[in-house]
Amino acid sequence: MSGILGKKVGMTSIYDSNGKNIPVTVIEAGPCTVTQIRTIENDGYEAVQLSFDDKKEKHATKADIGHAKKAGTGPKKMIAEFTRFEERKKFGEQVTVDVFMEGEFVDVVGISKGKGFQGVVKRHGFGGVGQRTHGQHNRLRAPGSIGASSYPSRVFKGMRMAGQMGNHRVKAINLEIVKIVPEKNLLLVKGSVPGSKNGYLKIERWS
């Protein structure tokens, strides 16, 4: 499916033709360069590799520099592949926000904000146990029992406990493109998308 790479600028709101206030995420989408075309004959599958956002050569490996130079561009910070690209692309071609239209729906993939090590109340929405009297001091947000008695004498896999929260690959699906600003390479999608400001995103046509 057709797609593009971008960077999250932030959130704002705009008014539609009916005067309704719509929350939107502003994404700097492209321009991206086609740095490789996968074929069934050479790679066993078909895909288009796009690269986005210039990287200084001193921060890139020689492999990255050589790979980008073949496409007539410099090293990039983000590289991703899109399978089943509707339009046939050429090696070294530029891909812009013109691949989308206002009113279309897209999926947006990003890395969610990292929250670090969190307890069960914040991570899973537990209500906490115990009461706030009779000398209670450190059990208000505790998870409670996590296992059975002598049988099965173990903790089941998948038990919801405290641990690392966030910093995962997340896909937000079926988001409407409210507005496109082609002269500034901006894409405004309805609602929120994963990640923090300046986080890299993969935007693909909703399947």
pLDDT per residue as tens digits for the range 83-94? 877 777 788 889
C-beta neighbour count of 156 within 10 angstroms = 9
What 3-state class would DSSP assign to 155?
coil
Q: Helices (H) and strands (E) in the chain — how many of each?
A: 3, 12
What's residue 88's pLDDT? 78
What's residue 128's pLDDT? 78
Residue at 204: amino acid letter:
E
- In contact, 204 and 144? CB cutoff 8 Å: no
- In contact, 24 and 178? CB cutoff 8 Å: yes
Q: Give the end-to-end CA distance of the chain in Å, rounded to a whole number.
A: 8
* Domains, in order of start, for the chain: 3-152+159-205 (2.40.30.10)
* Stretch 183-206: mean pLDDT: 93
What's residue 147's pLDDT? 84
- Whether 122 shows a pLDDT value over 90: the answer reads yes
pLDDT per residue as tens digits for the range 131-167? 777 777 777 888 888 888 788 888 999 999 999 999 9
pTM listed for this prediction: 0.84
Split at pLDDT 50, 70, 90, the class of 130 is low
The secondary structure of 112-138 as a DSSP string is: PPP-EEE-HHHHH-----S-S-TT--S
Split at pLDDT 50, 70, 90, the class of 2 is confident
pLDDT per residue as tens digits for the range 174-183? 999 999 999 9
- Whether 1 shows a pLDDT value over 70: the answer reads no
- Whether 192 shows a pLDDT value over 90: the answer reads yes
What 3-state class would DSSP assign to 98?
helix
- Whether 126 shows a pLDDT value over 70: the answer reads yes
pLDDT per residue as tens digits for the range 37-89? 988 899 898 889 999 989 999 999 999 999 899 888 899 999 999 987 777 77
